[in-house]
Each structure stands twice: as C-alpha cells, then as structure tokens.
A and B are shown apart, each in its own frame.
Chain A
Amino acid sequence: MIPSETVLLFLERINQRDPAKLAELMTEDHGSSTRCASACNRESMRQAWQAYFAFCPDYWTSHQEILAEGNLVAVFGAAGGTISVDGKLSPENRWEIPAAWRAVVQNGLVKEWQVYADNKPVYDILAKHAN
C-alpha cells in the first residue's frame, strides 16, 4: 500500500468512528512528533479518538485533494458532525468546516497525524451552552 492509500484508509476508519480499528493503522509511537508531548503514542491517541467520538458521535471527514511526497501526505477537504449535548444530537449543534490533514506514513502505518481547521463554529456551539 502506498502512503496516500494508507491515509485514505485512515480517513475511512475515522468515518467508521471505531477507535480500535483506527489504532490498527497507527505506529506504536503514533502522534505528532513536533507537537505532542511525550505522552503521545498509539494507546493515548486511541483514547483521544474515543473521547472525540463521544464528543461528536457522528464526526465525518471528506476529501477533495490528496498530495503525497515520499512518506508525507497532505489532504484537503472538510469535516463536520454534531456536538453531543446531554447525550442528544440536535440540528442546532451541527457543524461543518473546511479542513486539512498532514500525515507521515511509515511501513504502511500512520506515524504522525495532524488536523488543521478553523474550529470557530465548534467553539461557538460550545460557548452557546456555557452562556
């Protein structure tokens, strides 16, 4: 599998919202080497995804363009979902934003993963419930 195929499979598994299956595609030291603290690894990131899917149970991604140079892959697309409030998914808590992802692939597994997105619509929804 070439790096871009690995990344597309990773995005597909994000859309399946199954943290265990997602973790199968991570290297043991998975994280974001320049951005995470030492605590980042496959298990901590599996837990992070699990928490995120609880926060946004219908989280989805879509991709329009994918660029690869060696093991480095960039994806441009969109992300969205509905923020869970008191266990309910209401239309007023739905969001959708442009998003980009940077990934480093090693031996068919994702070693680094980082999303770049302007999350203001998400923050606005959360702030609404704090006011």
Chain B
Amino acid sequence: MYSETFLDHFKNPRNVGELAPPAVTVQIENPVCGDILRLSARFDGDRVAEVRYKVRGCTASIASGSALTEWMKSKTRAELAALKPGMLEALAGGLIPESKHAAVLCIDGLKKLLAAA
C-alpha cells in the first residue's frame, strides 16, 4: 500500500518542530478534514537556511511534511514557488489517490509561507 520512502518519512519524520522569530511561521488547515500544518522557515538571503514543521494530520500529511521540509533546505524562493503537488508526492515516495490532499495541504502551506516571508 505504501512505498519504503513514504514509510521512512512517516516513521522517521525529518525537521519536526518550530523555529523562533525572526523565522516565519504559518499555519494552514484543511477545511474538509481538519488537518493542521505549521511550517516555519528562516531565510538566509534568498535561500532557506532552516525549516521545521508540525502537523496534526494523517500518515500522508506527516510523510509529505517531512519530504517537503527535507527538500526545502537551501532552495531559493523561486524554486520553492515552482514546487507542485505532483512533485511533492514523488518526493514523499508516492501517495495513494485517497491521500493526495496531504500534498495539496503542504503546497498551500508553502504558498502561505512565501507570501508571509
């Protein structure tokens, strides 16, 4: 049902936590199921220096948040803005059709972070 990469992100999530200001932190919620994602990032110039996340959500949200934050490190704002749900699904080792909302939640969180940073 789940790939090894997905299970690794779910069981050993990377970058869990929250960064203190001046890092930017945003929170986003899925209005349908109630999953909540908090995403924090500190930029050094144009690039992500540190990133953390917390999620109250399903296995797919935990794995997707982990994959997202792992990928975000050292990326520029332009690179962050170009990330799409399908790309994140691949980074997380693939999501079953019923769990694709998790990648959408993460991308929405990233958009909100970029708008706030």
Contact = CB atoms under 8 A, between A and B. Distances in A.
Interface of A: 31-32, 35-40, 45, 48-49, 51-52, 54-55, 84-86, 112-117, 119, 122-123, 126-127, 129-130
9 contacts: A36-B29, A36-B108, A37-B107, A37-B109, A54-B97, A115-B33, A123-B57, A130-B1, A130-B11
Given A55-B98, A55-B99, A115 B34 contact: yes
Contact of A39 (B27, B101, B108): B108
- Of all A-B residue pairs in the complex, the 8 with the closest CB atoms, nearest first, are A37-B108, A55-B98, A37-B111, A35-B29, A32-B31, A126-B59, A115-B34, A37-B112
Contacts of B2: 129-130
Pick the most buried of B10, B59, B97: most chain A CB atoms within 10 A of its CB. Answer: B59
A40 B27 CA distance: 15
Contacts of B108: 36-37, 39-40
Nearest to A125: B58
Nearest to B113: A37
Contacts of A122: 33, 58
Given A35-B27, A84-B98, A126-B59, A52 B115 contact: no
A interface majority secondary structure: mixed
Interface of B: 1-2, 6-7, 10-11, 27-35, 56-60, 97-101, 104, 107-109, 111-112, 115
A6 B74 CA distance: 47
A14 B30 CA distance: 16
A8 to B, nearest CB: 18
A110 B66 CA distance: 33
B28 A35 contact: yes
Given A36-B108, A37-B111, A84-B98, A127 B59 contact: yes
Nearest to A115: B34
A10 B73 CA distance: 41
A127 B56 CA distance: 13
Pick the most buried of B32, B97, B104, B112: most chain A CB atoms within 10 A of its CB. Answer: B32
A39 B111 contact: yes
Pick the most buried of A45, A52, A126: most chain B CB atoms within 10 A of its CB. Answer: A126
